[in-house]
Amino acid sequence: MQTPTKQPTPTKETLGWIGTGRMGYAMAERLAKGGCDITVWNRTKSKAEPLKQHGAKVVNQLEELSTRDILFCMVSTYEDVKEVIGKALAAGGNKGKPKMVVECSSISLEGSAELRKNLEGKGIQYLAAPVSGNAKVIKAGKLTFAVSGPKAAYEKARPFLDMIGQGSSYVGEGELARIVKICHNVFLGVVTQSLAEITILAQKAGVPRHAFLDFLNKSVMGSTFTRYKTPAFVNLDFKVTFTPHLLRKDMDLGLDAGREFEVPMPLAALTRDLIQQMIGHGMTEQDFATLLVMQAKASGLELKPENKEVGDGLAS
């Protein structure tokens, strides 16, 4: 498992961090372990507390983050982003304000543009910086960022993004990173549904899931993603990495963008409704990879764990 190397911090900037859910915790942990001066807030404070052992400061009030140089945010939806950033800046007038906000949640283009307008109006630089990868991917040092906003701000934030993951792609001005992330997650949904379909087809025809996925993962069609979903598909460990609700949100953002730009998205539309069906069946608390279970049910197959030791391809 890769951890950030103990080197001098990339710059002297002080960091504020909002949100230590599955993703935010693992991201902030890499900055703290890397020796950054980082102060963290989470609505449920207990989830942030373990970061103290890596040198992070954990605060009770969001307002205490208003004087950090760079403020990172990783919560759920745009409504949540608006609420937490608003509160964090509320004390701004008296105490000061961050030089920059780096917003990493998966949110809409419209929400992101509104946030940019508000922040830039206050003289705060803003980067849209959504990510690809789950918490396990972050721990393995393999998270990636799509970033948009002023190029100079990106260059300032880049050393910290490099500490969190394996790199960032600067995709242009404004909210372009949001559409990149939305496209990415639409692909995630469609690929997962397709992987579920072919895995169940192979199994019903008599091929064990581990054998089928072993072949697929070694082929040109195998990917980091198919490899790291393999243990879940083989052994039915659906401990949540990304919830069906969050995936549905991203499919909806993709379909909204398709309508706005007049791009037909038939596969995305179908997949969105299959995710909806899964949610309707009450399958909301496990990983979205339970699309496999839905596919098995629809095929009259009762799934059992294969109890095979299979790698996730993430170890370096």
Q: Which residues bind ligand NAP (CB under 6 A)?
A: 19-24, 42-44, 47, 74-76, 80, 83-84, 105-106, 131, 134, 241-242, 246
CB of 299 to ligand NAP, least distance (A): 27
CA atoms lying within 13 Å on the CB side of residue 242: 23
**Cβ closest to ligand NAP, residue 76 vs residue 224:** 76
**Cβ closest to ligand NAP, residue 66 vs residue 134:** 134
Type of residue found at 113 = A
**Cβ closest to ligand NAP, residue 43 vs residue 308:** 43
Burial state string for 153-172 with b = 16 or more CB within 10 A and e = fewer than 16: bbebbbebbebbbeebebbe
Parallel, antiparallel or unpaired: strands 57-58 and 70-73: unpaired
**Cβ closest to ligand NAP, residue 216 vs residue 251:** 251
CB of 44 to ligand NAP, least distance (A): 3
CB of 76 to ligand NAP, least distance (A): 4
CB of 27 to ligand NAP, least distance (A): 9
Place of tokens 């609420």: 83
Residue 38: name the closest of 63, 61, 9, 81 by CA. Answer: 9
CB of 228 to ligand NAP, least distance (A): 11
3-state DSSP assignment of residue 212: helix
Type of residue found at 39 = T
> DSSP label at 63?
G
Type of residue found at 217 = N
**Cβ closest to ligand NAP, residue 156 vs residue 229:** 229
Parallel, antiparallel or unpaired: strands 125-128 and 100-103: parallel
**Cβ closest to ligand NAP, residue 23 vs residue 296:** 23
CB of 300 to ligand NAP, least distance (A): 31
Residue 180: name the closest of 167, 169, 192 by CA. Answer: 169
Residue 15: name the closest of 156, 132, 137 by CA. Answer: 156
3-state DSSP assignment of residue 104: coil
**Cβ closest to ligand NAP, residue 76 vs residue 299:** 76
**Which residue number has the CB closest to ligand NAP?**
21
Phi-psi region of 172 (alpha: psi -120 to 50; beta: other; left: phi over 0): left
CB of 8 to ligand NAP, least distance (A): 29
